[in-house]
């Protein structure tokens, strides 16, 4: 309906998906997989799969190795256990994994069968879901890469105050504190310009630690940095549902980092107050 | 509506019922206004707060009556319980027309997204490695998309080596799939049932080799333990 022509290829979501497909196609019991047959078909399918990306290929190959291992184990005569105990079927673990995966696939199907908001049912107000979020509003936003962030940092550093030669490190400047300071800016609203995190006239050490804090927050997915065009301005958004949540999360996750970054002189001050 | 002579003599006593009725009708109409204007799901407590002077039971009854009215009159709207509150939404059958009017594309829900979402929904809080163990594939990109769509959020870190990030679902997730709360998720096919499937074909190895209790008809290719020139090589 949306125009264009879609060629439906058999695309698999991963090795387990492919295995389940083969099991279904051969109409065999999931708990009693004819390993030799399935392994052969699995390998044959792998060869046909066009241009697997490197990551994807890795996952498929690991499964291929697992299948071949199971197959070879099945060919070996089973050694009776010490007290006649029955040995586990070499397939058991794989079967368990397949069943577990199948379980969630069914759950996913049941989810999508529900009336989905903005697909089947609509709420009032004409307001789009997640109003104000970068995913739905305005021009598409691409994540700013580390390179983008570094060049933005370079600009900020170019405007930095000339460092005083004797003042190497100002006390009390930690990544944890800078992270909280960064998040405080979101109290005024989401979508903060990158440059706004750096106070005019800030010194290099402060800028660097603030930048590290920002990277840390991005890494922990508390915030997201993005831009609407390449080399465009970088804007930072909250990635959590609320600011309070972001602050709590940052406090929790930077606790360990604070210890790492805290300098010896301040260790007393760095200790979490509640312990 | 019949004016009764008695009413004139004893207005208070006789008006109790019609008055109560009118109050309830008005309350129902006000609730309708509130839910319409809010658009987002409104918790009962918030309705009670806004409807100063009415107790919880009355407000709950008004919501219920509003919902019944919509259904009984076969209207284009429904009052549904989602994400811990009440919301007025269009009926699913009218979806195609509404979508055409609004012109938006329906939200994209790919299989990797749905599978990952299902795992997080049922197992939360859970970590990326846990999800990957189940799906057998890298889920980094999918998690980013789900975070962007605000269907999941970071809920903390696991006290385990590397302190991996823990994910959970958001109220938006409940809203998108029309769920009142997480307990409303349909139960997963349970492990007991899975174990039954395993038992049905007996996976245990006997000292003589793997012999399934029921031998499949084709018997080729997958006869185990014993030499099988048909495959291998």
Residues contacting A261, CB < 8 A, separation 6+: A174, A175, A176, A209, A212
The helix-helix angle for A54-75 and A92-112 (nearest 10°) equals 140
Q: Do residue A15 and residue B137 have CB atoms under 8 angstroms apart? A: yes
**CA gap A84, B216 in Å, rounded:** 27
Q: What is the mean pLDDT of residues B196-204?
A: 47
Pick from A37, A88, A118: CB nearest B104: A118
Q: Is residue B133 predicted with pLDDT exceeding 90?
A: yes
pLDDT at A166 (0 to 100): 62
**CA gap A261, A274 in Å, rounded:** 20
Q: Kindly give the parts of chain A with pLDDT less than 70.
A: 1-10, 50-56, 78-87, 125-141, 161-172, 230-231, 252-275
Q: Do residue B225 and residue A110 have CB atoms under 8 angstroms apart? A: no
Three-class DSSP category at A192: strand
Q: Do residue B89 and residue A77 have CB atoms under 8 angstroms apart? A: no
pLDDT at B21 (0 to 100): 80
Q: Is residue B161 predicted with pLDDT exceeding 70?
A: yes
**CA gap A134, B168 in Å, rounded:** 20
- B57–chain A nearest CA distance, Å: 25
Three-class DSSP category at B71: helix
What chain B holds in terms of domains, given with CATH numbers, is 5-101 (1.10.10.10), 111-184 (1.10.10.10)
Residues of chain B positioned with their CB less than 8 A from the CB of A118: 104, 106-107, 176
Q: What is the mean pLDDT of residues B180-196?
A: 78
- B161–chain A nearest CA distance, Å: 13
Report the greatest alpha carbon distance in chain B.
105
Mutant choice from B153, B170, B193, B205 vs A, greatest count of A C-beta within 10 A: B205
Residues of chain A positioned with their CB less than 8 A from the CB of B216: 28-29, 32, 34
Q: What is the mean pLDDT of residues B196-215?
A: 41
Q: What percent of chain A has pLDDT over 90?
A: 11
Mutant choice from B91, B190, B201, B207 vs A, greatest count of A C-beta within 10 A: B207
pLDDT at A222 (0 to 100): 84
Chain A residue closest to B196 (CA)?
A: A31
**Which A residues 113-142 touch B at CB under 8 Å?**
114-130, 133-135
Residues β-bridged to residue B165: B157
pLDDT in tens, B40-60: 899 999 999 999 888 999 999
Q: Which of B28, B138, B46, B137 is nearest to B85 (CA)?
A: B46
Residues of chain B positioned with their CB less than 8 A from the CB of A37: 221-222, 231
- A135–chain B nearest CA distance, Å: 6
Residues of chain A positioned with their CB less than 8 A from the CB of B205: 78, 86-89
Q: Is residue B170 predicted with pLDDT exceeding 50?
A: yes
pLDDT at A6 (0 to 100): 38
pLDDT at B194 (0 to 100): 59
What letter would DSSP give residue A199? -
Q: Is residue B131 predicted with pLDDT exceeding 80?
A: yes
More confident residue, B233 or B86: B86
More confident residue, B176 or B218: B176
Residues of chain B positioned with their CB less than 8 A from the CB of A135: 148-150
Q: What percent of chain B has pLDDT over 90?
A: 49
pLDDT at A263 (0 to 100): 42
Q: Do residue B225 and residue A256 have CB atoms under 8 angstroms apart? A: no
What chain A holds in terms of domains, given with CATH numbers, is 15-75+90-106 (no CATH), 142-260 (1.10.10.580)
Pick from B200, B205, B212: CB nearest A86: B205
Residues of chain A positioned with their CB less than 8 A from the CB of B122: 104, 107
Q: How many CA atoms lie within 13 A of A87 on its CB side?
A: 18
Q: What is the mean pLDDT of residues B173-185?
A: 94
pLDDT at B17 (0 to 100): 52
Q: Is residue B224 predicted with pLDDT exceeding 80?
A: no
Chain A residue closest to B79 (CA)?
A: A123
Chain B contact present for A73, CB below 8 A: no
Q: Do residue B198 and residue A95 have CB atoms under 8 angstroms apart? A: yes
Q: Do residue A124 and residue B88 have CB atoms under 8 angstroms apart? A: yes
Three-class DSSP category at B153: strand
Residues of chain B positioned with their CB less than 8 A from the CB of A29: 197, 200-201, 216
pLDDT at A239 (0 to 100): 80
Q: Is residue B132 predicted with pLDDT exceeding 70?
A: yes
**CA gap A170, B132 in Å, rounded:** 44
Q: Do residue B216 and residue A224 have CB atoms under 8 angstroms apart? A: no
pLDDT in tens, B78-112: 999 999 999 999 999 999 999 888 877 778 889 99
pLDDT at A75 (0 to 100): 85
Q: Is residue B221 predicted with pLDDT exceeding 70?
A: no
Tell me phi and psi for residue A64, to 5 degrees: -60, -45
Instruction: Tell me the pLDDT of chain A averaged across its residues.
Output: 75
Tell me phi and psi for residue B123, to 5 degrees: -110, 0
Chain B contact present for A258, CB below 8 A: no
């Amino acid at each position: 309906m949306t125009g264009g022509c879609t060629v439906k290829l058999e695309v698999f979501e991963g090795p387990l998906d492919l295995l389940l497909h083969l099991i279904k196609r051969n109409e065999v019991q999931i708990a009693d997989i004819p390993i030799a047959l399935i392994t052969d078909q699995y390998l044959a399918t792998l060869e046909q799969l066009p241009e697997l990306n490197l990551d994807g290929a890795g996952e498929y190959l690991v499964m291929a190795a697992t299948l071949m291992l199971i197959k070879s184990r099945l060919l070996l005569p089973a050694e009776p256990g010490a007290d006649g105990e029955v040995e586990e079927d070499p397939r058991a673990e794989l079967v368990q994994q397949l069943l577990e995966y199948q379980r969630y696939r069914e759950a996913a199907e049941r989810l999508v069968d529900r009336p989905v908001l903005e697909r089947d049912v609509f709420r009032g107000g004409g307001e789009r879901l997640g109003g104000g979020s970068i995913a739905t509003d305005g021009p598409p936003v691409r994540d700013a890469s580390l390179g983008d962030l570094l060049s933005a940092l370079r600009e900020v550093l170019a405007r930095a105050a000339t460092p005083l030669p004797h003042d190497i490190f100002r006390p009390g400047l930690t990544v944890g504190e800078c992270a909280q300071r960064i998040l405080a800016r979101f109290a005024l609203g989401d979508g903060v310009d990158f440059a706004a995190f750096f106070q005019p006239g800030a010194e290099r050490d402060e800028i660097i630690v603030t930048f590290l804090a920002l990277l840390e927050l991005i890494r922990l997915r508390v915030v997201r940095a993005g831009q609407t065009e390449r080399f465009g301005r970088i804007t930072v958004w909250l990635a959590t549902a609320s600011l309070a949540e972001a602050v709590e999360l940052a406090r929790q996750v930077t606790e360990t980092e604070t210890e790492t970054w805290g300098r010896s002189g301040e260790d007393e001050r760095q200790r979490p107050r509640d312990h | 509506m019949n004016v009764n002579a008695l009413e004139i003599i004893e207005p208070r006593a006789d008006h109790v019922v019609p008055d109560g009725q009118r109050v309830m009708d008005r309350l129902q109409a006000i609730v309708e206004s509130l839910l319409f204007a809010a658009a987002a799901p409104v918790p009962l407590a918030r309705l009670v707060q806004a409807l100063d002077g009415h107790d919880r039971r009355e407000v709950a009854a008004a919501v219920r009556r509003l919902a019944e009215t919509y259904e009984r009159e076969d209207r284009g709207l429904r009052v549904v319980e989602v994400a811990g509150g009440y919301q007025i939404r269009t009926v699913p059958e009218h979806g195609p027309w509404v979508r055409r009017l609004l012109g938006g594309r329906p939200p994209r829900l790919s299989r990797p997204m749905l599978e990952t979402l299902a795992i997080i929904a049922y197992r939360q809080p859970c970590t990326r490695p846990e999800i990957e163990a189940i799906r057998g594939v890298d889920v980094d990109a999918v998690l980013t998309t789900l975070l962007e769509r605000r269907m999941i959020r970071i809920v903390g870190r696991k006290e385990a080596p590397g302190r991996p990030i823990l994910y959970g679902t958001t109220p938006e997730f409940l809203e998108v799939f029309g769920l009142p709360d997480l307990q409303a998720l349909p139960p997963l096919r349970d492990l007991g049932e899975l174990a039954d499937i395993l038992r049905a074909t007996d996976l245990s190895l006997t000292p003589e080799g793997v012999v399934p209790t029921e031998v499949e008809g084709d018997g080729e290719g997958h006869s185990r333990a014993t030499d099988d020139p048909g495959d291998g090589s």
